[in-house]
Amino acid sequence: MRFLLTFTAATAFLSAAPAKPTYYADVEPIMMENCQGCHRAGEIGPMPFMTYDQVRPWAKAIKNSVSSRKMPPWFAEAGVGHFSNDRSLTAEQIATISSWVDAGSPAGDMKTRKPAKTWVEGWNIPKPDAVVGMTKPFPVPANSKIDYQYIVIPTGFTEDKWVNMVEARPTDRSVVHHAVIFIRDPKSKWLREAEPYVPFVPDRKGSARRIDVGGGGNEILHTYTPGNLPDVWKPNQAKLIPAGADLVMQMHYTSTKKDTEDLTKIGLVFAKQAPEQRIMTIIAGNETFVIPPGEANYKATGALGIPNDATLLNFFPHMHVRGKAFEYNLITGDKREPLLKVNKYDFNWQLNYHLAKPIELKQGMRIEITATFDNSPNNPYNPDPKAEVRWGEQSWEEMAYGFFDVAVDARHDRRSWIMRKPLAGKTE
Ligand code: HEC
């Protein structure tokens, strides 16, 4: 065993970056796998990296951004959890790019080129069965503060629909900080005062405020944030949009220095078969924290007891500009297992971390989250270190939410899963 380990370490060392890397032989494959997902037309990367001519002028910036690990954006501590959407580069890949740039970024022989990766334009999911969403562009004026906009989208579905894949596509990604798409149950009274398709700002008084933001107990279909992938579940897994339900889009627009507008659409691919597992988005969080002025290392914790067995699929930590670090732990009896550690949280990159191997959760386990905030003047994003900061939807207020998706038996609804109701047709 020891021999084997030493041997593997030695080969890893020997197989380090190629001596004279060229674009076509060595660098382009990295661009395809780790960069083009964002750096191509229609996606969030500001410049395309699809051809040598497009990449060449950026060579120095590329070396800097990969050496500092600014690019590709990825914030999970290595060694804690394995994630299928981990785009980070290995030390060897960084060395390859660096020595290629230092050698004057040679193109190399086009004949050694690996087949180009094919990217579909428009949707990143297969052709949607239904496209719903905004019908009119929303104007986003330069340098302005914009309230969360809620847009009710009637689906017109007269039967239950199981959604196997979902993608939200803004037309101007530079101004969409996030879009949360809720499934409003036909019986829910939430935002009934809003006219369909017309962007709406709820009148926030007292406790109504929290309900507006949180979706009033309704299920989340999908959250779009820059850099995240569409939701694509396994063929036997889906989220349910019940007959007669509406979608509600919560749009958080952040203006830039330019006047612009956005029209976000949602593509849905329905399950081809009745799913065995239902996907639900769950939250462990804390809404009662009070961050003292100037405090550089304030920790808010929250926990959720798992009421029923479930399969844990992914994590989506959410804080605002004072967010500094975030972690998820799994508590089983007195055992504590770290699931995800984000040591350098970045408000501009709200990433979703998909477990490479889903984790089986048993009833009685707990998911615990710790959100760390920096309210000191040393935090360059801090709008006011003298403020005492509490829960709130605006960026100068804070949130400490650890979202995660679970797959449960398809016969459960949210309530029955949480209330531990026995399932019909199954003896437990
Ligand atoms: C998840 C999407 C995403 C991925 C993946 C990604 N980028 Fe970027 N990249 C962006 C965005 C958005 C910006 C502009 C905002 C910023 O600089 O943070 C950017 C900016 C850059 C810049 C300009 C940085 C600067 O300092 O001006 C470089 C260079 C770059 N990316 C290189 C890369 C390389 C090389 C890869 C792959 C190894 C990569 N990016 C992967 C989204 C991405």
Mark whether 168 and 100 lie in a shared domain.
no
Q: Which distant-in-sequence residues (6+ apart) come within 8 Å of 66 by Cβ?
A: 89, 93, 94, 97, 98
Mark whether 417 and 280 lie in a shared domain.
yes
C-alpha 71 to ligand 1 mean position (Å): 5
Mark whether 282 and 427 lie in a shared domain.
yes
Ligand 1 atom nearest residue 58's Cα: 29
Report the domain count for the chain. Answer: 3
Q: CATH no. for residue 145?
A: 2.60.120
At residue 210, the pLDDT reads 59
C-alpha 81 to ligand 1 mean position (Å): 24
Mark whether 242 and 292 lie in a shared domain.
no
At residue 427, the pLDDT reads 42
Look at residue 172 and tell me if it is in a domain.
yes
Look at residue 6 and tell me if it is in a domain.
no
Q: Could you say which residues of the chain have pLDDT below 50? A: 1-14, 427-428
What residue owns the CA closest to ligand 1's atom 7? 72
Residue 3: count of CB within 10 angstroms of its CB: 7
pTM of the model: 0.89
Look at residue 5 and tell me if it is in a domain.
no
Mark whether 147 and 100 lie in a shared domain.
no
Domain boundary among 273, 291, 322: 273
Domain boundary among 69, 91, 112: 112
Residue 323: count of CB within 10 angstroms of its CB: 23
At residue 14, the pLDDT reads 45
Which residue range forms the structural domain that includes residue 156? 121-273
Look at residue 218 and tell me if it is in a domain.
yes
C-alpha 62 to ligand 1 mean position (Å): 8
Mark whether 35 and 135 lie in a shared domain.
no
Does the CB atom of residue 75 touch ligand 1 within 6 A?
no
Q: CATH no. for residue 335?
A: 2.60.120.230
The pick from 39, 52, 96 for probing ligand 1's pocket by mutation, whose C-beta has the most ligand atoms within 8 angstroms, reads 39
| pLDDT, tens only, 93-111 | 999 999 999 999 999 999 8
Domain boundary among 78, 112, 146: 112
Ligand 1 atom nearest residue 97's Cα: 35
Mark whether 267 and 129 lie in a shared domain.
yes
Mark whether 197 and 297 lie in a shared domain.
no
